[in-house]
Amino acid sequence: MASWNRIPSNTVCYRCGQKAVAWERDSKGITTGNLICRQCYNFWHRHRTYEKYKRITADHTNTKCHICGSSKTYIEGIDFEGKPIYDWRKDNDGNYICSNCRSNINKKSERLWRMGLISRYIETGVGIVGQYIVAKTIGVDDLNIINDNLRQPVDLSEHSIYGMSDVKTATLADDNRWTFGRVFNRCDTVFYLCMDRYMPWKDVEMVCVAPCSLVFDSSSINILKGRIGKWDILKKYRIDEKPFNDVYHSVDIPDLFDPIGLWKGKYDEKIKNYSH
C-alpha cells in the first residue's frame, strides 16, 4: 500500500534510488516512513513482496509438469493470505506445465519464427491470436497482417462503430486477474480480451471495449475476476463475449502456427458438438 500525496521534491526511492512517488505502507496500511518509486510500488502491489522470483518446489507433491516431471516452478507472487502463488499453467487436458518448459517452448518458437512459425504462448503469439479473434468478429482487417509489419501503431482497420481499434489480450493468472500492456498510440477504442487460464485457451471469458481516452498511456491495467479493483470501470464497457468465442472455436490453432496461414484459413475447423 502507498500514499501518493505530499511527496517531498528531489527525493529518491530507498530501495533502488529512482525518483520517489509514494510513501511506503506495510500490509496493514501503516506508513513505514520510507519513500518508494513507482516501479517498486507496482512490484510490491502485484506480488506482496520485494523479493525477485525464485525457483521453489510446489507445496503439493501431486503437482508435476507433464512434460519434464518436475514439481518445481517459479513463484508469481504472494496472495492476500500470504501464501505463494505458483506459476503453473494447464493444457486443455488439465495437465500442468511448469515455467521452465514454457520458457523452452518460447525459445524454440523464436528460432522457428524465421520459418514463419510462432508460439501462441509468447507475447507476440498471444497478441496475434487475440487480434484475429476481434478482427474476425467485428469484420475488419488486422493491419499488422495486411501490411506485413507487427509494429503497426494501431492493430485494426477502421470500423463504423468502434473506429480505429487496438487489441490487448491477457491470460487469467492464478490470482484471478488479467494484466494488460500499455496503450502507447492514440486510437478510438481498445478491446480488452480476457482469456481463461488454460494452455491453450478454451474460452474467451470477457470482452471490454473502452474508449482510448480512458486508458491511454496507463500502466498496470488489471481486471480482477470476482473482486473489486482499480480498473473495475472497464467492466462497464463489457460486451457479449459469445460472438468472440464463436470465432475462436471455429479454428484449431496449433502450439506453433503461421500467422499468415491463420488468416488464409489454414486452421479453420468446424467443431461439432462443442460443449462449454
Where are the domains positioned within the chain?
Answer: 1-52, 57-115, 116-263
pTM: predicted TM-score of the whole model, two decimal places: 0.61
Q: Are 40 and 15 in contact (CB under 8 A)?
A: yes
φ and ψ of 163, to 5 deg: 70, -145
Rounded CA-CA distance 221/29 in Å is 22
**pLDDT above 90 covers what percent of the chain?**
33
Q: How many CB atoms lie within 10 A of CB 114?
A: 7
Using the predicted structure, report yes or no on whether residue 256 has a pLDDT greater than 50: yes
Rounded CA-CA distance 206/226 in Å is 12
Q: If you search the block for the grid coordinates 520485494, which residue do you land on?
A: 50
Using the predicted structure, report yes or no on whether residue 53 has a pLDDT greater than 50: no
The more confident residue out of 20 and 3 is 20
**What integer is the mean pLDDT of 107-116?**
54
Using the predicted structure, report yes or no on whether residue 60 has a pLDDT greater than 50: no
Rounded CA-CA distance 102/236 in Å is 34
Q: Are 139 and 133 in contact (CB under 8 A)?
A: no
Model confidence over 223-253: pLDDT tens digits?
999 888 888 899 999 999 999 999 999 999 9
**What integer is the mean pLDDT of 203-213?**
96
Domain 1-52 has CATH 3.30.50: yes
Quick one: the chain helix, strand, coil %, rounded to 5?
A: 25, 30, 45
**pLDDT above 70 covers what percent of the chain?**
72
Q: Which among 77, 67, 78, 71 has a CA at the least distance from the CA of 56?
A: 71
Under the banding of pLDDT at 50, 70 and 90, the label for residue 1 is very low
Residue 195: what pLDDT? 96
Q: Is the dihedral of CA 198, 216, 229, 207 positive or negative?
A: negative
Q: Are 104 and 97 in contact (CB under 8 A)?
A: no
Using the predicted structure, report yes or no on whether residue 182 has a pLDDT greater than 90: no
Q: Concatenated DSSP letters for 160-184? A: TTTEEEEEEEEEPPTTSEEEE--B-
